[in-house]
């Protein structure tokens, strides 16, 4: 069978022109264009999340995920003296499902909704619309405030969740050669996007990584993650609160973790830009390196959810189900917690004030 040439999409044409006139793009710039180009970006043109979309996230698998996170945040709020006003915030809320489940489960916590103001950090206008529809009638005072960046969150106690947000932030990639590191960039060859190498700028992280890498290794740096973690951490240090961060990755990133997903399948990151999701594993060590508050130990999602009681909740819900609905429910519990599914790949860490207890499910 002969492979027909792939048809180029509009964003690919724009990127090829830009590279021809201005030179190669860093992987970070390429990711930003692919995900958030104002008219052709992945998150600006579609709602890709859910069983019928390109990929599924934990809150879309089962309401139990949001219920566990909601109770965790509410207990942390109680443990810190139940501040009379606080921001209940989410970074990258997707379809709004996680926040909806948090709000439903915390309705029974006395005073929580009266004190909460919902703040969402979302870059895509299209996803904001989706969130507004999901959360209609659920938020305290029927109010939601959207922000373009975490830096715009209010100065008040902050109870925040970020699920699969940091993996969507752009990374730069560096390839170790005999001479040190070169930066991997997106270039062009024969009218196609290809990977090239250019001399890497001096960077303290790269100098440090000379010690634990060898020739041909790849090191990834996400410039935005530590900045956002610091902005959140500063609010928690100044006003109290917690941030629960759940994402795939590990304590230290090694190797090429840039991946593309389309229609629940892996794809090439450099074909059909803007039509597939691009993510990279989170390097939690780098994310937490400069925060001005305490953080918990990195814990697997499976252990975190088990400690919060997801199995008891699953059993209670199972009692009301039969047939295919029961089978789906059992599969969802397994998918969220089992080590061979999301249980180990996904990790959870919390930011909290020095001297305060870590939120339930996590150790200091
Ligand atoms: C993978 S989705 C996660 C969705 C949701 N948290 C969930 O668990 O279903 C990433 C979300 O982050 C948003 N996003 C991506 N990059 C962003 C950025 N730089 N700033 C703010 N939001 C961003 C996307 O529009 C989307 O809502």
A 10 A CB-CB count for 140 gives: 17
As for ligand 1, residues whose beta carbon falls within 6 Å of it are 35, 43, 49, 57, 59-60, 92-94, 98, 121-124, 127, 163-165, 168-169
Band of residue 51 on the pLDDT scale cut at 50, 70, 90: confident
Average pLDDT in the chain: 95
What are the distances in angstroms from CA 191 to CA 17, 28, 268?
10, 21, 16
176 pLDDT exceeds 60? yes
The pLDDT assigned to 3 comes to: 57
Question: What residue ranges do the domains of the chain occupy?
Answer: 43-170+222-352
**CATH fold for the domain made of 43-170+222-352:** Rossmann fold (3.40.50)
- Please tell me the pTM assigned to this model: 0.95
Residue 175's pLDDT is what? 97
Per-position DSSP letters for 130-175, written without gaps between them: HHHHHHTTTSGGG-EEEESSGGGS-SS-EEEEEES-GGGS--EEEE
- What is the average per-residue pLDDT within 236-243? 98
pLDDT digits (tens, 9 = 90+) for 74-91: 999 999 999 999 999 999
Distance 251 CA to ligand 1 centre (A): 21
Residue 253: predicted pLDDT: 78
Cβ neighbours, 10 Å, residue 16 = 18
Distance 168 CA to ligand 1 centre (A): 7
- pLDDT value at position 131? 98
pLDDT over 70, % of the chain: 98
Q: What is the pLDDT of residue 50?
A: 84
pLDDT band at residue 201 using 50, 70 and 90 as cut-offs: confident
- What lies within 8 Å, CB to CB, of 36 at 6+ separation is 42, 43, 44, 123, 124
For ligand 1, atom 20: residue with the closest CA: 123
**Quick one: pLDDT band at residue 2, thresholds 50, 70, 90?**
low
From the CA of 277, give the closest atom in ligand 1. 1
**pLDDT for res 52:** 82
CA of 52 to the centre of ligand 1 (A): 18
- Over 80: is that where the pLDDT of 323 sits? yes
Environment class of 155 (CB within 10 Å of its CB; exposed 0-12, middle 13-18, buried 19+): exposed
Task: Look at ligand 1, atom 2, and give the residue with the nearest C-alpha.
Answer: 94
Distance CA 67, CA 99 (A): 10
CA of 109 from ligand 1 middle (Å) equals 28
Q: Which of 159-168, 261-270, 348-357 has the lowest mean pLDDT?
A: 261-270
**Res. 1 pLDDT band, cuts 50 70 90:** low
pLDDT in tens, 116-145: 999 999 999 999 999 999 999 999 999 999
CA of 51 to the centre of ligand 1 (A): 17
| H and E: helices and strands count for the chain | 15, 17
C-alpha–C-alpha distance, residues 137 and 99, integer Å:
12
Neighbours of 44 (CB within 10 A): 17
- Count of all residues that appear for the chain in the document: 364
Separation of CA 121 and ligand 1 centre (Å): 8
Distance 178 CA to ligand 1 centre (A): 38
Pocket test for ligand 1, best of 70, 128, 150, 165 (most atoms within 8 A of CB): 165
Whether pLDDT at 149 is above 80: yes
**Is 237:353 a contact under the CB 8 Å cutoff?**
yes
Does pLDDT of 92 surpass 80?
A: yes
Pocket test for ligand 1, best of 58, 91, 94, 336 (most atoms within 8 A of CB): 94
Strand-strand pairing, 158-163 and 144-147: unpaired
pLDDT, residue 7, reads: 82
């Amino acid at each position: 069978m002969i492979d027909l040439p792939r048809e180029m999409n509009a964003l690919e044409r724009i990127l090829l022109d830009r590279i021809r006139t201005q030179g190669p793009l860093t992987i970070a710039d390429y990711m930003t264009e692919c995900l958030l180009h104002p008219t052709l970006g992945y998150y600006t043109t579609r709602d890709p999340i859910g069983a019928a979309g390109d990929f599924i996230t934990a809150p879309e698998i089962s309401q139990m995920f949001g219920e566990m996170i909601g109770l965790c945040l509410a207990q942390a709020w109680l443990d810190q003296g139940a501040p009379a006003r606080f921001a209940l915030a989410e970074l990258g809320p997707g379809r709004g499902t996680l926040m909806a489940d948090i709000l439903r489960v915390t309705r029974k916590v006395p005073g929580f909704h009266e004190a909460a103001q919902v703040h969402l950090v979302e870059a895509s206008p299209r996803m904001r619309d989706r969130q507004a529809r999901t959360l209609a009638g659920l938020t305290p005072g029927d109010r939601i405030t959207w922000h373009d960046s975490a830096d715009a969150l209010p100065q008040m106690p902050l109870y925040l969740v970020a699920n699969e947000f940091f993996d969507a932030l752009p990374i730069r990639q560096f390839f170790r050669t005999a001479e040190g590191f070169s930066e991997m960039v997106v270039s062009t060859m024969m009218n196609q996007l290809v990977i090239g190498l250019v001399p890497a700028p001096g960077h303290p992280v790269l100098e440090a990584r000379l010690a634990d890498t060898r020739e041909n290794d790849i090191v990834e740096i996400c410039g935005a993650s530590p900045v956002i973690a610091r902005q959140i951490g500063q609010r928690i240090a100044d006003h109290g609160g917690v941030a629960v961060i759940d994402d795939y990755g590990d304590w230290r990133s090694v190797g090429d973790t840039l991946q593309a997903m389309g229609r629940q399948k892996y794809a090439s990151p450099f074909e059909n830009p803007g039509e597939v999701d691009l993510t990279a594993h989170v390097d939690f060590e780098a994310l937490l390196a400069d925060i001005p508050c305490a953080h918990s130990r990195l814990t697997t999602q499976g252990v975190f959810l088990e400690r919060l009681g997801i199995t008891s909740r699953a059993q209670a819900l199972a009692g009301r189900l039969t047939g295919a609905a029961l089978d789906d429910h059992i599969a969802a519990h397994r998918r969220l917690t089992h080590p061979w599914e999301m249980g180990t790949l996904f990790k959870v860490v919390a930011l909290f004030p020095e001297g305060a207890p870590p939120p339930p499910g996590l150790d200091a």
